[in-house]
Copies of this chain bind each other. A is one copy, B any other.
Amino acid sequence: MLDLMNVAWIEGAGPGGGVGGHLRILDQTRLPNRVEYLECTEVEQVWQAIKRLSVRGAPAIGIAAGYGCVVAAVAAERGLAPGAEAEAAVAQAVARAADYLATSRPTAVNLFWALERMRKLGPVGTARLLAEARAIQAEEVERCRQIGLHAWPVVEPLLRGGGGATGAGGPGLPGLPGVLTHCNAGALAAAGPGTATAPLYLAQERGVRFRAFVDETRPLLQGARLTAFELSAAGVPVTLICDNMAAQVMHAGRVRLVIVGADRIAANGDTANKIGTYGLAILARYHQVPFFVAAPSTSFDLTLPDGRGIPIEERGGEEITEGFGWRTAPVGIGTYSPAFDVTPHELITGILTERGVIAPVDAVQVAKVLR
């Protein structure tokens, strides 16, 4: 697995009995060409890092937001003597930071969940806040590990099973059972082994050979830049394709299963995830390829009965027209750039969570597994 931390608290000397240090965020916008870090000492930098997608992926956004509250708390505590007054100032700073960080991106529910968890601590010292942020991160690592373990009985037979799905191979299509994924729901997007990648890293660990077909994922190429990067670093054979080639790879019989992550899942299993996921689910259904969502329970929003209530972020058209540093479309052209879409539960074969596999995907099964 990847030897890079997407989000980490860097210890430093704190004043008095408090916490010192700052938040280090891997700048994923520079990958795979450069490994650069953002050293955040102000909450505004954390907001920018989330907004600009330096840190992205629902669980990772939640983790960064948790630490973002600590960044605000450390700044608030500076110069104050330990005691009730300092704790009140810290609590106020955390509440402000939580309100502010909540405006960075609208779709991933982990953001709001993590901020709420930090805010609820109330008047405490920075050490307690840091412990909470670290707990959020450690718990996500464990959730991701558990996703892999729970998914294994479902994923293994698909990877090992015989049948025509291996395909004859070809120049770009050597014959290994294929798993297709979209965007990045890996270690970079989450913690530990990632969400959609958790069963894949487990397969790699257990010597089950497979090939990952990775959608490049326009406009920001998280598949090409991040998933291809982390899976190949782990030794997984990767074939990178453009998003519009997925149907052809399925048609060629090369895809045994699709696994994607999630940004928010409603109570009935409708799943918001990176734009293109919905179309992929339709293609998988047409080709009778099992389609799985992998997500920790923290990505569920049980206050929403179905996917219609999930707010979908629209991003600037320049990510489409100038995403590569030069203009790839006429100046002034109209664009439409939803960052996510919602896949209806009936197109999802199963949702792989740390508490078990939800299948079939409906409100009853979601409640049963998550209760």
State the A residues within 8 Å of B (CB): 32-33, 171-173, 182, 213, 215-219, 221, 224-225, 228-229, 232-233, 237-249, 251, 275-276, 278-280, 282-283, 285-286, 314, 317, 320-321, 323-330, 332-338, 341
Contact = CB atoms under 8 A, between A and B. Distances in A.
The 4 tightest CB contacts between A and B, nearest first, are: A244-B276, A247-B279, A324-B324, A172-B336
8 contacts: A218-B244, A237-B334, A240-B329, A243-B244, A245-B337, A248-B279, A249-B336, A325-B325
B224 A244 contact: no
B279 A241 contact: no
A242 B216 contact: no
B325 A240 contact: no
Nearest to A31: B330
Contact of A329 (B173, B228, B325): B228
B232 A333 contact: yes
Contacts of A336: 172-173, 213, 239-241, 245, 249
A246 B282 CA distance: 12
Given A286-B282, A338-B248, A242 B228 contact: no
A348 to B, nearest CB: 15
Contacts of A224: 320-321, 328-329
A164 to B, nearest CB: 16
Contacts of A221: 328-329
A241 B32 CA distance: 25
Query: Which among A171, A246, A282 has the highest number of chain B CB atoms within 10 Å?
Result: A282
A320 B237 contact: no
B218 A216 contact: yes
B251 A341 contact: yes
Nearest to A174: B334
B225 A278 contact: no
A330 B213 CA distance: 14
Contacts of A243: 218, 242-244, 276
